[in-house]
Structure 1
Amino acid sequence: MKIGITIDCPDPDQVAAFWERFLGYVRRPDRGGGPYVTIDRPSGADGPPHLTFQRVPEAKTTKGRTHLDLFVEHAAPMVDEMIAAGATSLTITEAGEWTTRVLQDPAGNEFCVIGPD
């Protein structure tokens, strides 16, 4: 069994490009068009499920109930780079050695970057 995650957004190409940059995923070849762009681990690599970005006409209106958590060795540099690429910072919570930063991708979908500064 394989598991994939589908994320609604207004511009699948833009949001897929954002996540390709930070996850090291690659775009799957187009399979005849449609409102989807899928990115996946490079061939043969182990890791989390693939992500599909689905074009939807409606804007996001409330907080998402599902989100990605990215566990990193150094949070601050990654967050700075993500903001420069179009993410928005929402909150920062410190808990001992760990800092959790809640951000939004260019489509407004929340995600967390978790790790020490």
Structure 2
Amino acid sequence: MACRISELVIDAADPDRLAAFWSEVLGYVELGREDDGSIEIGPPDAGFGGPQPTLVLSPSSDPRTGKLRVHIDVSPTDRDQDAELERLLALGARPVDVGQTGAESWYVLADPEGNEFCLLRPRLQPL
């Protein structure tokens, strides 16, 4: 067997704010907090080690420079893409231009700290 992604670690100026945002986006809950201010969120029924990776929001005051080299893609599981776009924008996501042509089947957004992610068309079933 090969490796599995167990956690994604995201540096955050405000881990609480980002944990709240991503918890709402993904339907995750807080799993734990570390003394360094890191917050781990994950699926409410599985937590760490389940089929989905957890997110660790790690405090950092380092400024971000340039486009991210890795980003998250999300797919709606219980509504169409346009309805999910409205929901994500209401949660605090914002559209980002990274050079799209306008013909893409996805939307490029940024979380409240400017981390890019893509909203794809529905392609997955709920777990």
Q: Is the structural similarity TM-score above 0.5? A: yes
The answer to whether structure 1 residue 66 and structure 2 residue 75 are counterparts is: no
Match of 1:37 among 29, 35, 39: 39
Match of 2:116 among 103, 107, 110: 110
4+ aligned runs moved over 6 Å, structure 1? none
Kept in 2: contact 1:15–1:53 (CA 8 A): yes
Match of 1:10 among 6, 13, 21: 13
TM-align CA RMSD: 2.1
Structure 2: tracts of 5 or more residues without a match: 123-127
Cα distance in 1 for residues equivalent to 2:106 and 2:13: 27
Kept in 1: contact 2:32–2:41 (CA 8 A): no
Equivalent residue number for residue 90 of structure 2: 84
Q: Which has the higher strand share?
A: 1
Residue 59 of structure 1 and its aligned partner are, at CA, apart by 2.4
Cα distance in 2 for residues equivalent to 1:18 and 1:35: 17
Cα distance in 1 for residues equivalent to 2:12 and 2:80: 28
Identity in percent: 31
The answer to whether structure 1 residue 51 and structure 2 residue 60 are counterparts is: no
Residue 88 of structure 1 and its aligned partner are, at CA, apart by 1.1
The answer to whether structure 1 residue 94 and structure 2 residue 103 are counterparts is: yes
Structure 1: tracts of 5 or more residues without a match: none
Q: TM-score, normalised by structure 2?
A: 0.77
